[in-house]
């Protein structure tokens, strides 16, 4: 078991699996981990160096400071219609929405003030917790005929890169 609990419900978590590592010449070697809270139905990520048990888990690459505004019902319906046209993105979209509960909200975020499309997207908000992220640029990629693999890789990269 992890010493670090689920950041949303405070329950204990399974140890999780290592999903990758980053090694750069001048920077310390880091490990990327993933686990899942069964109660919250949320995937959690963290990046560790040596003292891994003290690193908290993160439920989203997005922070409260990144939030712009809540997505309106019309916008949400429009997004649903748009992603339905792209089977690969639809799967990513469904995974993104899976943990959502009746009182949760969808918020638009921007991680930076640049117009880099990969810094903009949607996240699920539950009180002061944020869950996951969906990059709207992934839909754009599909529309301009990028390969599904590239698109998925980009979505994965965006999520894992955030921690
Ligand atoms: Zn939990």
Q: 64 or 140, which is more confident? A: 64
57 closest CA partner among 66, 45, 68, 49: 45
Q: Are residues 48 and 121 in the same domain?
A: no
Euclidean distance between the first and final Cα of the chain, in Å?
21
52 and 131 both lie in a single domain:
no
Residue 114 DSSP class: S
Q: Are 55 and 72 within one domain?
A: no
CA distance 4 to 70: 30
Strand positions, DSSP E, 23-155: 30-37, 42-48, 67-70, 105-110, 120-126, 129-135
> Does 15 lie in the same domain as 77?
no
Between the CA of 133 and the centroid of ligand 1 the distance, in Å, is: 17
pLDDT in tens, 14-60: 988 888 887 777 777 888 899 999 999 999 999 888 766 788 999 99
Q: Taking residues 3-14, what's their average pLDDT?
A: 93
Which residue segment(s) compose the domain that 138 sits in? 64-161
Do 107 and 142 fall within a single domain? yes
Tell how far the Cα of 104 is from the centroid of ligand 1, in angstroms: 15
- Give the model's confidence band at 83: pLDDT under 50 very low, under 70 low, under 90 confident, else very high: confident
Please check whether residues 113 and 86 belong to one and the same domain: yes
H or E element that contains 69? strand 67-70
Distance between CA 71 and CA 88 in Å, rounded? Answer: 23
Residue pair 19/70 in contact by the 8 Å Cβ criterion: no
- Same domain flag for 53 and 106: no
Parallel/antiparallel/unpaired status of strands 67-70 and 105-110: antiparallel
Considering the domain architecture, whether residues 72 and 136 belong to the same structural domain is answered as yes
Compute, in angstroms, the gap from residue 13 CA to the centroid of ligand 1.
Answer: 8
Angle at 89 between CA 162 and CA 46, to 5 degrees: 20
Number of domains into which the chain is organized: 2
> Is the same domain home to 34 and 70?
no
For the entire predicted model, the pTM comes to 0.77
116 and 48 inside one domain: no
Shared domain for 152 and 88, answered yes or no, is yes
């Amino acid at each position: 078991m992890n010493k670090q609990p689920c950041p949303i419900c405070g329950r204990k978590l399974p140890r999780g699996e290592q999903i990758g590592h980053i090694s750069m010449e001048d920077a310390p070697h880091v490990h990327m981990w993933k686990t899942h809270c069964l109660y919250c139905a949320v995937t959690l990520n963290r990046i560790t160096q040596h003292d891994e048990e003290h690193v908290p888990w993160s439920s989203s690459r997005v922070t409260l400071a990144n939030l712009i505004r809540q997505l309106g019902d019309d916008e949400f319906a429009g997004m649903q219609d748009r992603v339905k046209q792209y089977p690969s993105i639809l799967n990513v979209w469904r995974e993104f929405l899976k943990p959502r509960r009746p009182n949760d909200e969808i918020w638009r975020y921007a991680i930076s003030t640049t117009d880099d499309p990969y810094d903009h997207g949607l996240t699920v908000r539950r009180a002061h917790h944020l869950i996951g992220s969906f990059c709207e640029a992934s839909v754009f990629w599909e529309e301009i005929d990028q390969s599904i693999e590239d698109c998925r890789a980009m979505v994965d990269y965006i999520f894992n890169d955030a921690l």
